[in-house]
Amino acid sequence: MEKNKFELDTQFYAAVECATHNNFVDAICHIKNCMKIEQKDPFYNGFYAQVLCEIGRYDLALFEMKIFLKKYPNDIGGLLVLGAAYMELEEWESAERVYRKILTIDICNGLAYNNFGCIYMKTGRYDEAKAILETGLLIDPDSDLLKRNYQEALSLIEKNEY
């Protein structure tokens, strides 16, 4: 038992170190080793999903993150990864559902407001984008990301008024 815990910790820390240095191939190998050692806890599926997003494998990331979220359904980090993967795959309705859920759990999540605004802009709902980004800026007025996307929403509204 103690040997497995040591091996699991070693593999996990190696995966984190590799991911931190953008060595995603090795990170994936270490994460898969963690998943073999600890098959009952989907925590490693969540970490695997994050790394899969980093290398652009959003389809696989969705699969792994859904496994993670079955056990940890209100994990904000996991939900943010899920929402981002849906956005990258242009599955706007699914992404919108995820960000709605995040805001029911954490009404002060600036990133969720930002990504919600991006979904609205991508789907041509510029006034809704402006409104939700304004709300995000009330919560996180220092966010450069929210400020930039708010300006983009204003620009899109102006372009579409002519």
pLDDT tens-place string over residues 111-158? 999 999 999 999 999 999 999 999 999 999 999 999 999 999 999 999
Architecture of domain 1-106: Alpha Horseshoe (1.25)
Structure tokens at 106: 């954490």
The CATH 1.25.40.10 portion of the chain extends over: 1-106
Alpha-helical segments (H) within 43-109: 43-54, 58-71, 76-88, 92-105
Per the prediction, the chain carries an average pLDDT of 94
Q: What is the mean pLDDT of residues 16-28?
A: 93
pLDDT band at 160 (very low <50, low <70, confident <90, very high): confident
Residue 56 Ramachandran class (φ > 0 left, ψ -120 to 50 alpha, else beta): left
pLDDT band at 162 (very low <50, low <70, confident <90, very high): low
pLDDT tens-place string over residues 54-80? 999 999 999 999 999 999 999 999 999
Q: How many helices (H) and strands (E) does the chain have?
A: 9, 0
Provide, rounded to the nearest whole percent, the portion of the chain with pLDDT above 90. Answer: 89
Torsion on CA atoms 52, 125, 105, 68, rounded to nearest 10: -20
Write the CATH number of the domain with boundaries 108-162. Answer: 1.25.40
Whole-number pLDDT of residue 4: 85
From CA 117, how far away is CA 130, in angstroms rounded? Answer: 7
Confirm if 146 and 110 have CB atoms less than 8 A apart: yes
